[in-house]
Structure 1
Amino acid sequence: MQHLKGKKAVISGGGSGIGRAIMEKLSAAQVTIALADLNPPAQLPDNTQSYTCDVSNAKAIDALYAQVQQQLGTPSILICSAGRGVHEKLTEGDPEKWQHVINTNLMGTLRMIRAFVPAMLEAGEGDVIIISSVSAGQSYAYGGVYAATKTALEVVAETLRKEVLPSIRVTVVAPGVTDTAFFENTLSGSQTAESIGYGALTAEQVADAVLFALRQPPGVSLNNITLRPTAQEF
Structure 2
Amino acid sequence: MQLFLYREQNHINRVQQLKGKKAVVSGGGSGIGRAIVERLSLANIVTAVADLQPPADLSSNVYPFTCDVTAAHAVDALFAGVQEKLGTPDILICSAGRGIHEKLTEGDPEKWRQIIDTNLMGALRLIRAFVPGMLEAGHGDVVLVSSVSAGQAYPYGGVYAATKSALEVVAETLRQEVLPTVRVTVVAPGVTDTAFFENTVSGFHTAEDIGYGSIAADEVADAVLFALSKPPGVSINKITIRPTAQPF
Q: Bin the TM-score by the shorter chain.
A: over 0.9
How much does 1:218 deviate?
A: 1.1
Q: Which runs of 4+ in 1 moved over 6 A?
A: none
Q: 2:186 aligns with which of 172, 176, 184?
A: 172
Q: Residue 139 of structure 1 aligns with which residue? A: 153
Q: Residue 125 of structure 1 aligns with which residue? A: 139
Q: 2:31 aligns with which of 4, 12, 17?
A: 17
Aligned positions of 1:222-233 closer than 5 A: 222-233=236-247
Q: 1:157 aligns with which of 165, 171, 177?
A: 171
Q: 1:5 aligns with which of 19, 30, 38?
A: 19
Matched, 1:207 2:228: no
Matched, 1:94 2:84: no
How much does 1:190 deviate?
A: 1.3
Matched, 1:28 2:45: no
How much does 1:223 deviate?
A: 0.1
Equivalents in 2 of 1:101, 1:56: separation in Å? 10
Equivalents in 1 of 2:185, 2:215: separation in Å? 19
Amino acid at match of 2:195: A
Aligned to 1:177, the other structure's residue is in SS state coil
Percent of matched pairs sharing the same residue: 74
Matched, 1:109 2:123: yes
Computed over aligned residues only, the root mean square deviation of the Cα atoms, in angstroms, reads 0.6
TM-score between the two structures when normalised by the length of structure 2: 0.94
The higher radius of gyration belongs to: 2
Equivalents in 1 of 2:60, 2:84: separation in Å? 18
Higher helix content, 1 or 2: 2
1:175-195 Cα distance to aligned partner (Å, 9 max, x none) = 000010100110011111001
How much does 1:58 deviate?
A: 1.0
Matched positions, count: 234
Equivalents in 2 of 1:147, 1:138: separation in Å? 7
Equivalents in 1 of 2:204, 2:87: separation in Å? 41
Matched, 1:182 2:196: yes
Amino acid at match of 1:128: V
Aligned to 1:10, the other structure's residue is in SS state strand
Structure 2 spans left out of the alignment, 5+ residues: 1-10
Equivalents in 2 of 1:215, 1:71: separation in Å? 24
Q: 1:51 aligns with which of 47, 60, 65?
A: 65
TM-score between the two structures when normalised by the length of structure 1: 0.99
Equivalents in 2 of 1:38, 1:190: separation in Å? 21
Amino acid at match of 1:117: V
Amino acid at match of 1:227: I
Amino acid at match of 1:69: Q
